Structure 1
Amino acid sequence: MTFILGKMSSVKQLYSQSIIYGLSTIVPRLLNYLLVPIHTNVLTDPRQYGVITEFYAYLSFLLIFLTFGLETGYFRFVNKYENDERVYSNSYTFVLTLSSVFFIAAYLFSGSISSLLGSGYLPIYIITTAAIVSLDSITALPFAKLRNQNRPLVFSFIKITGVAINVLLNIIFYLVLKPSYLKNLFPDIDPLFYVFLSNFIQNIVVFVLVTYFTGFPKIRIDKSLMKELIWYSFPILLAGLSGTTNEAFDRLFIKYLLPKSVDSLYQLGIYGACVKLAVLLVLFIQMYRFAAEPFFFKSSGSQDHNKLFAKSFKYFLIFSIVISLLITFNLPILKFFIGKNYRESLYIVPILLLANIFYGLFFNLSFWYKLSDKTIYGLKYTVIGSVITIISNIILIPIIGIYGAALSRLITYVTMTLMSYSDGRTSGFVSFETKNIKFYFIFILFISLSGTLLLVFLKPYYSLIATNILIGLFIYEFIKKENINITLWR
């Protein structure tokens, strides 16, 4: 299916590739959603899910550090220089070296790290997760190469295959063999370990496949080129670390900032499950990101760049809001994706969704400083954002618990978006199409108010049915007013 968006073939290309790249994001995430009911029903104690949530929060930091911002650096310099392989092999060698050193260090100090985290955090967890993130970082550049070569089908195939293997292994470990049987076979291994083991095996398969399709590059370092790459990418690394603070610190703070009278790991498990529901919007943002980065870098010199960005930005905003409304008012159904012990705080999901909308808007606005080689601004926004995240979490979590963590995320992304827009509006790379926008916002406001009133005064399912009908009408009006033709290529 190809979506022809208006009369602008380049925007059509962007969103068509977004849909293909969406296969690599939506299908794996949907497959991963099979893990949510498995983990939250088999691991009936939210504390266990809290451990998983905490570990993957740490992994998000480590992945940013180990890739060193070189994905974006690769896109920038592979279009700047004609020698694609020279840029690629230097970037790959750097990441491979850094990841290998990290894994060796994690292996040697796994016992000390385990003791530092507390009881229940076995050294084997440390070693396995270190292997997971090391393989993730090593494969980041090959995946970037596939994106730059416009090979979204290969990209999607590898991503989907990897996640399918992970899900299958989880099904085997937790539903076929079952934790009780595994405990008899391996009494010294906690059932929780098989979550990490499945992910590790997935990453081995992905590494083999992506290396097969892209080839193993020459291991070399060109000092002058590497200096340029690091100089460009280092602010992106720092911005990424600060940005991950905004994404992950709420989960880490929950463990350490809740009052002692509250079971922090229990609450962290519940919060992690709610974040999984809100991540449905991040699926769209991620698939858009995969297509948008190479697209806007390549079109930055064209005369139509501002028009392309303006239309794309408007579509992104509308799509994000519609997806958020669908998730929010379908929570009476979506709640069954998580175990019954994890459903007590579902009302934080709309807050998380709103925060994710602003996260997506900030990503769109980030192109102005990336395209003008002013990546230091990205560092400015994310550092300020991380400071806001830390301060707001410290203030809010002890008072209102996990609701404070969700609200902190929203405050952070609203602030970062406003700062980026304020600085970038005169850059020549920021624009927004306002055609029909008042009508769309009034319609969206009507849907939100109607759904909320029905939810308050009637049963949730009445609100669900009415809201979905209204959203369907909105989508119809949007397609009609934007002259979007949907055609099927057979």
Structure 2
Amino acid sequence: MGLAKKLASQTAIYGVSSIVGRVVNFFLVPVYTARFAAAEYGIVTGLFAYVSFLNVVFTYGMETTYFRFANRPGTDRQELYDRSLTLLLLSSVALTLLLMLLARPLMGLLGLPPGHEQYAYWIAAILGLDALTALPFARLRLENKARKFAAIRLANIALNVGLNLFFIVVCPDILAGKYLPALQPLVQAIYDPTMGVGYVFISNAAASAFTLLLLGRELTDFRFRLNLEPLRPMLRYAYPIMLMGLAGMVNEMLDRILLPIWLPKNFYSGQSSLAAVGVYGACYKLSILMSLVIQAFKYAAEPFFFAQSEDKNSPRTFALVLKWFTLCCAMLFVGVSVNLDLVAKVFLRSPEYLQGLAVVPVLLLANLFLGVYWNLSVWFKLTDKTYYGTYLGFAGAILTIALNFLLIPVLGYMGSAVATLACYFMMAALCWWLGERHYPVPYPVARLLVWLLVAVGIVALSWYVPVAPGWGRYGFHALLTLGFVGLVAVVEGRRLRSI
């Protein structure tokens, strides 16, 4: 019991630090959309999509590999840490320099003319610094120092947000004379208005450097040890993890990289492809509400699934968990999609972003199916057939690339949203089909599909029934939302009470 409580406590601490980061980034969206034009925000969206991919390459599975080898009997953990961090240090320096040399071609992929290479330099610095913190953070987890891990993560988030607000909101407002005019000379000395979105990357780089300083104790006992021979088995273990990570990033982030490349010129009249990326990226953030729910659920459910695996009634339990998880996510899908005009007023502060709102329900539904897939994946985790996860991830990646190639020229960023939905639906369907053959669970599939069709129907009703803007429209949308929640409560509530 003591071990279980300790595990639950540490899971909660790690979960808070991770979820808070995503929530805070979500609440920066109103700041960015109010202060940056869509084309400027497209730079942020596009470059951070590259960061997601390159972060996998920079760390190449060494964090998980370090965990695996550190727990082998007879392992000298300090020597393992030294050798692993030496390799990561050398590779990070080499990759950072390479990325800086490729700054101009990278900016060209985003459609930016020469002269914006400094953005790539900041991105390279962020990636290099974050890669160097990967193993010290892994060491904290290995040593069960969850509180220190979370404190450093939260300090990183606080500094990043503080610098974003300082450079993007406070400094321009002071220069405009809105408040604190006495500080104008100081602001003029440290703030460059022409930097624009560059301050988003500078803030992230500064926070990453600060994090490295906070991990000083984990770095001071590091000794440079370069010997590739003992590292060979680690690299053999690590590269499949890197490939799985890249496949996951294809499904999650590739659309924001492919959109400016495959979007026809002048597809959106009067709007550049980079502006389209900015609109899509800002609207995509609204679907993260579903991702936050899924991530919070994962931290609680993953240890629960493994703990229940030996119970003879575990299949029925897993089916019940999936049912109520899906129903709760369906209610969130309806609540956000039906009331999107209100949500958008809070988070998308410039009218040019509102033209992309139609992708939000599609992306919310896509993330719902991703959550369903995660629930269904319990079968290959409990049967030690995790290679099926690799197959499903790569199948999703292939479908994502193919559909983006086919749909972006025809539907624009809606094509990317549809590709994401198709990918996650296919992965969930295949995972269920395979699970029925290897680890049967009595999931109420037909019943859940009916509920999802009802939810989609209500969202479509809210979008296509003409109601004049104003309180009447808000009331109609609130009625639809409460009606769906009430219907779920009436139909399914009796079963829940009996259980």
How would you bin the TM-score normalised by the shorter chain? 0.7 to 0.9
Partner of 1:138: 132
CA deviation after TM superposition for structure 1 residue 356, in Å: 1.3
Cα RMSD, aligned residues only: 4.1
- 2:475 maps to 1:462: yes
Q: Aligned-pair distance for 1:53?
A: 0.8
Higher relative contact order (CA 8 A, sep 6+): 1
* Structure 2 unaligned spans of 5+: 176-186
Establish whether residue 281 from structure 1 lines up as the match of residue 290 from structure 2.
Answer: yes
CA distance in 2 between partners of 1:344 and 1:365 (Å): 35
Retained in 2: the 8 A contact 1:110–1:123? yes
* Higher alpha-carbon deviation: 351-360 or 103-112: 103-112
Q: Report the CA distance between 1:352 and its aligned residue.
A: 0.6
Residue 358 to residue 222, structure 1, CA distance change in 2 (3 Å): farther
Q: Following TM superposition, by how much is the alpha carbon of 1:147 offset from its aligned partner in structure 2, in angstroms?
A: 4.9
Task: Name which one, 1 or 2, has greater alpha-carbon Rg.
Answer: 2
Partners of 1:412 and 1:440 in 2: how far apart?
19
- Between stretches 253-262 and 94-103, larger displacement belongs to 94-103
Rounded to whole Å, the distance in 1 between the matches of 2:14 and 2:304 is 16
Match of 1:407 in 2: 418
1:398 is paired with a residue whose SS is helix
Q: Which residue of 2 aligns with 1:40?
A: 33
Deviation at 1:114, TM superposition (A): 4.4
Q: 1:236 to 1:482 in 2, by over 3 A?
A: farther
Q: TM-score, normalised by structure 1?
A: 0.80
* Matched ranges for 1:56-67 at <5 A: 56-67=48-59
Identity across the alignment (%): 32
Contact 2:69–2:75 (CA<8 Å) still a contact in 1? no
Query: TM-score, with normalisation over the residues of structure 2?
Result: 0.79
Other structure's SS at 1:178 match: helix
Counterpart residue identity of residue 50, structure 2: Y
Alignment counterpart, residue 322 of structure 1, candidates 314, 317, 331: 331
Aligned 1:62-211 pairs, distance under 5 A: 62-77=54-69, 81=73, 83=75, 85=77, 91-111=84-104, 113-114=106-107, 118-119=112-113, 122-147=116-141, 152-178=146-172, 181=175, 189-210=194-215
Greater shift, 270-279 or 19-28, is seen at 19-28
Q: Which shifted more, 163-172 or 182-191?
A: 182-191
- The aligned length equals 473
Q: Which residue of 2 aligns with 1:251?
A: 256
Q: Deviations over 1:452-488 (max 9, x none)?
A: 5355254441244224535665787778855799xxx
- 5+ unaligned residues in a row in structure 1: which ranges? 1-7, 486-490
Matches within 5 A, 1:8-23: 20-23=13-16
SS in 1 for 2:266: coil
| Residues 1:231 and 1:116: Cα distance change in structure 2 (over 3 Å) | same
Which residue is 2:24 aligned to? Answer: 31
Question: Separation in 1 of the partners of 2:172 and 2:310?
Answer: 57
* Alpha-carbon displacement from aligned partner over 1:32-86 (angstroms, at most 9, x marks no partner): 233211111111x211111111101111110111222334445555566575936
Deviations 1:257-310 (A, max 9, x none): 1221232111111101111111121123334445666x3897598567955755
CA–CA separation in structure 2 for the residues paired with 1:201 and 1:406: 33
**1:382 and 2:393 matched:** yes
Q: How many angstroms apart in 2 are the aligned matches of 1:224 and 1:305?
A: 48
Counterparts in 2 of 1:219 and 1:248: CA distance versus 1, 3 Å: same
- Whether the 8 Å contact between 1:179 and 1:191 is mirrored in structure 2 is no
Letter in 1 for 2:276: Q
Greater Cα shift, 151-160 or 476-485: 476-485
In the aligned structure 2, how far is the partner of 1:147 from the partner of 1:314? 33
Conserved? CA contact 1:173–1:179, under 8 Å = no
Counterparts in 2 of 1:454 and 1:38: CA distance versus 1, 3 Å: closer
Matched, 1:271 2:280: yes
1:326–1:343 CA distance, 2 compared to 1 (3 A): same
Contact 1:235 1:378 (C-alpha < 8 Å) held by counterparts:
no
Structure 1 residue 209, shift from structure 2 partner: 3.0
Match of 2:244 among 239, 243, 246: 239
CA contact (8 A) 1:79 1:298 kept: no
**Distance in 2 between the 1:190 and 1:291 partners?**
42
Whether the 8 Å contact between 1:14 and 1:291 is mirrored in structure 2 is no
CA change 1:9–1:317 in 2 (3 A) is: farther
- Alpha-carbon distance in 2 for matches of 1:473, 1:303: 33
